[in-house]
Amino acid sequence: MAPNEIYQYSVISALMTGLSSASSSTTVSKLLSHGNLGLGTFESMDGEMVVLDGQAYQLKSDGSVGAAPETAKIPFGSVTEFVPQITKKSSLEDKSQLMQLVADLLPNARNHFVVIRVDGRFDTVKCRTIPPQAYEGEHLTEVGKRQTVKEYHDVEGTIVGFRSPQWSEGVSVVGIHVHFLNTDRSFGGHVLAVRADSEVSLGVAACTNLQIDLPQSQEFGARVLEDDAEGLKKVEG
């Protein structure tokens, strides 16, 4: 794909309804053929995925982190060949300021997806990781109740993800959806809160081309997908 075009497998409303089986998934190798930076989750929602510099990492709720094998199953994921259009050095008071910085740097991209990468030293990063489903089809909101939340201080690493427009509700996570991985590739997760008192490096790019591949499984075709914006907001922070 061309730089900053986003490839997405499945839709967030399918994940919300618990659709994360092997038969409704793609593989890490197929996902990485479309991009070198992104995020997602794994079969049965077993942890968070960070795609950084062309490598996919699995961050589990037990705190373990490892490079994901090419055959690992991905029920939901978004990637891009990231080339920053704008870069800026800035401190970060919180996650809301990151959202505002993206809006300020790309004022004419309100209705576009935006790719985000932040590198540097962070004073605080609060992350969550979710455990695998307790049973097939368990909804994301229920899985999220068992999430592991950890707060890291004075850490170096990278935040990657996307800012999705309001119209994409049910397709993607509206607003900022970002994951963190530390420099040593030993911890991280879905970012709930962040603060950087010193300057970090923010790179952004607006996307005007989104490709979505939907699962071809019978269960996806038959599933009633939920547009649970409030539930998604709670579980995604």
Domains and CATH numbers, the chain: 6-236 (3.30.1330.80)
| Res 45: pLDDT | 98
Task: Give the gyration radius of the chain's Cα atoms.
Answer: 16
142-180: buried (b, 16+ CB within 10 Å) or exposed (e) per residue? ebbeebeeeebeebebbbbbbbbbeebbbbbbbbbbbbb
Across the 237 residues of the chain, what is the mean pLDDT of every consecutive 10-residue run?
A: 95 96 98 98 98 98 97 98 98 97 97 98 98 96 96 98 96 96 98 98 97 97 80 61
pLDDT at 236: 65
